[in-house]
Structure 1
Amino acid sequence: MSDESSSTPTQASTSASAQNPVPPSRIVRGTAAVDDLDAFLSSLDEIASETGAVVQAFDADLIVSDAHLREATRLAARSIARNEAVARDPGVEILLYAAGRRQIDRAFALGVAEGERRIAVLIADFGEVTGADRPPADLDAALASAEGLVDTAPPERSVSTTASTEEPPERRSNPSATFDAERVREFYDISARELSAVDGDLADIVRERVALLDVEK
């Protein structure tokens, strides 16, 4: 006699997927002259409202790679799906993971500030994430609108860390890895001793901080 209460492999797979969602995402990088921070953030909120997307802006000098943001997005979605999120807003939950810390006020330092800045705008579809209470997102429309707020042309001067000896040659040529190594070390509290002791580079340590936040909950 079969046990009707037992789940089938398909049901188990569906349940596992629901607990470990991977939201589709897009990332826009460039420079922006943020004269009025509230107005700029309102523009991002408007994009989110019109397209259903989760839209979060970051200080690009503190983002070590696109993978940094995508992993933070994945872990934030999983936290929400498991009802373990600290923040109610998915964008803020992503910010917490990207910052590698649970204190919202400290994590906000990873966001944008007024002035001419290099920024990265993450756009994600949380429509399939259980508990996110978000509609399906039009990522293409959100991407087009976000690109209207950011000058995506290559900057006239590159950040010095793209040629840092701490970065392997293949990453130096990757625009998504352009960051300020000194500021990254300060923000994530990474000492020279830690950097020299690990089997990896600065970007690897930051991504480890993101992953450890999930373990330390």
Structure 2
Amino acid sequence: MRLVEGSVDIDDVDAFVERLSGIGESHGVTVQAFDARYVVSRAHLERAVELADRAFERGENVARDRGVEILLYAAGRRQIDRALTLGVSPGTQPVVVLVDSDAGDEAAEREAAGSVEEGLAPEETLGTFDEERVRTYFDVSDRELDAVAGTLEDVVLERVALLDVEK
């Protein structure tokens, strides 16, 4: 799995997503963009990929598209329309774009990541999430944070993992 970080000014979300889909198709990889303000860590996306792949293996996937299934897990949601909040939207925003070959083809991932980079302004975005935005989206209260012996990242990773239990 490769993550491409940067910022982008999106006028037309559909055109942006189509461009990424085209890159994915031409290289035989999954390409999924996320609003970096909601992504707490690399582990957040690694876990989403792992669980999405497991859902496909078991025939328990909600989405037909692997990228959308990964988005659902990253969002901790089963409803695609609610999970899309973690995706990109019109305007200028920090993004992290996941590029992953389910076959483990690192060369294809590298080439696709290079193509994705061409459409982004380079910027470190992973780990710069908006804590209030994440807490609101994942419904994490002060009480919950105080009760766990961990961080906001730990709570989000738990939400991602619990999606399997909620099916």
Q: Which runs of 4+ in 1 moved over 3 A?
A: none
The CA deviation at 1:216 is: 2.2
The structure-2 alpha-carbon separation of the partners of 1:153 and 1:110, relative to structure 1 and needing over 3 Å to count, comes to closer
**1:140 and 2:110 correspond:** yes
Structure 1 length-normalised TM: 0.73
The residue that corresponds to 1:59 in the other structure is 35
The structure-2 alpha-carbon separation of the partners of 1:182 and 1:87, relative to structure 1 and needing over 3 Å to count, comes to same
- In structure 2, stretches of 5+ residues that fail to align are none
Greater relative contact order (Cα 8 A, min sep 6): structure 1 or 2? Answer: 2
The residue that corresponds to 1:40 in the other structure is 16
**1:118 and 2:108 correspond:** no
The CA deviation at 1:215 is: 2.1
Q: Is the 8 A contact 2:5 2:123 kept in 1?
A: no
- In structure 1, stretches of 5+ residues that fail to align are 1-24, 129-134, 155-174
**1:191 and 2:167 correspond:** no
The residue that corresponds to 2:119 in the other structure is 149
The residue that corresponds to 1:22 in the other structure is none
**Structure of higher CA gyration radius:** 1
**1:49 and 2:18 correspond:** no
* Partner Cα separation in structure 1 for residue 133 and residue 82 of structure 2: 15
- TM-align CA RMSD: 1.6
* Partner Cα separation in structure 1 for residue 91 and residue 132 of structure 2: 20
Structure 2 length-normalised TM: 0.95
* Partner Cα separation in structure 1 for residue 21 and residue 49 of structure 2: 18
The CA deviation at 1:98 is: 0.2
